[in-house]
Amino acid sequence: MRLLAVPLLVIAVMSTQVHAASSQTPSGASKHAVALVIHGGAGVIERDALSGGDEAAIRADLDRALDAGHAVLVAGGGALDAAIAAVQVLEDSPRFNAGKGAVYSADGTHELDASLMQGFDRSAGAVAGVTTIRNPILLARAVMERSPHVLLAGAGAEAFADLHDDIARVPNSYFDTEERRRQLEIAQDRERGHALDALPTVGGTYFGTVGAVALDAQGRIAAATSTGGMTNKRWSRVGDSPLIGAGTWADERCGVSGTGWGEFFIRNAVAHDICARVAYRGDSLRDAADEVLLRRVPALGGDGGAIALDVDGNIAMPFSTSGMYRGWVNPDGTRGTAIFRGE
């Protein structure tokens, strides 16, 4: 016990220093204009199926998330704080598949995944399969800043959360919503009569994962992603969202958060591949993101979307599904939200 205590203390001190550096107010004039891009998930989102009221409420939530993240950036805060602030708003909204409103697993419970990464020092944290964490993105941050690890899963992640009073806990039923319950029933109706190794995975089993990528006044990029995963998932299935390089990536010049059919995002290392194309091939952010989302993922049979942001403030938001909830604030301060293709 005593042997363990010393390294843990050292880790705690080091972690505190990393945190202080990541969220400090930059001194002197800003060198970089700030920018922010967010998503609330890609999937089957048809104009006809979305009522005017739902659409307005979703756009309002996206706007609130942009407000929260952008306020951090204009106050001189760090990209990581901004990305987390935006994601937390969407986790707290019942309209997205993250935090409150997460999809149901096959057994009628919710298992949540989240990850984040800070580009300038490649620090990262993630959790998978957590069941009582109100804001999984905050536990992912705690993993990054207060543990020597990157990814904690299941009961172990919950035990880690037990050590930190500031991580809000909720009963699993907190995540319940009628809409997600109905989606579970539809998915379970569809799979009746199928063998377990040939379950139909069709449109509508996912969408609503949330994410944010921010560029701060120091020119630093951070990305964050949070999800309930896929409706009717079983066997402790984990998708791309908590996996650094698949669902989330940030480096010195590029950051990405993905949403879509996670198995294909893992197999394509989607988030990392986009930024690697920018770094190694000199591709523009848009070309890199389009190649991965519109060609590589569909070529294997997958679909989905991503948001990407580079150090110059360029934003890309490609998706191969019928819609993707998204919002952005450009370096010049212009901003918008969109849901459907062609907006």
101 binds ligand ASP (CB under 6 A): no
Q: Binding to ligand ASP (CB under 6 A): which residues in 167-206?
A: 206
Q: Where are the beta strands (DSSP E) in 119-209?
A: 123-130, 151-153
Looking at 241, 248, 314, 322, which residue binds ligand ASP (CB under 6 A)?
Answer: 241
| Among the residue ranges 29-37, 167-175, 224-232, 248-256, the one whose residues contact ligand ASP (CB under 6 A) | 224-232
Distance (Å, whole) CA 304 – CA 227: 14
Based on CB atoms, which residue is closest to ligand ASP, 72 or 230? 230
Residue number closest to ligand ASP, CB atom: 262
At position 92, the amino acid (one-letter code) is D
239 binds ligand ASP (CB under 6 A): yes
| Among the residue ranges 47-55, 60-68, 258-266, 327-335, the one whose residues contact ligand ASP (CB under 6 A) | 258-266
Classified as helix, coil or strand, 276 is helix
209 binds ligand ASP (CB under 6 A): yes
242 binds ligand ASP (CB under 6 A): no
Least spacing, CB of residue 304 vs ligand ASP, in Å: 6
Distance (Å, whole) CA 312 – CA 18: 25
CA of 27: how far to CAs of 5, 76, 217, 309, in Å? 36, 9, 10, 24
229 binds ligand ASP (CB under 6 A): yes
Site string for ligand ASP, 136-155 (x = CB under 6 A): --------------------
Distance (Å, whole) CA 235 – CA 112: 14
Closest to 135 in 3D by CA, of 227, 48, 7: 227
| Cβ partners under 8 Å of residue 264, min gap 6 | 270, 297, 300, 301, 302, 303, 304
Over the range 49-63, which residues count as b (16 or more CB within 10 Å of their CB) and which as e? Answer: eeeeeeeeebbebbb
262 binds ligand ASP (CB under 6 A): yes
What does the block give as tokens for 189?
């109706």
At position 23, the amino acid (one-letter code) is S
232 binds ligand ASP (CB under 6 A): no
| Among the residue ranges 4-12, 255-263, 283-291, 307-315, the one whose residues contact ligand ASP (CB under 6 A) | 255-263
Looking at 93, 226, 227, 268, which residue binds ligand ASP (CB under 6 A)?
Answer: 227
Q: Confirm whether 209 is a catalytic residue.
A: yes
- DSSP-assigned letter for residue 122: T
Candidate list 209, 227, 231, 321, residue with the active-site label? 209
Distance (Å, whole) CA 254 – CA 155: 33
Q: Which residues bind ligand ASP (CB under 6 A)?
A: 41, 97, 206-209, 227, 229-230, 239-241, 259-260, 262
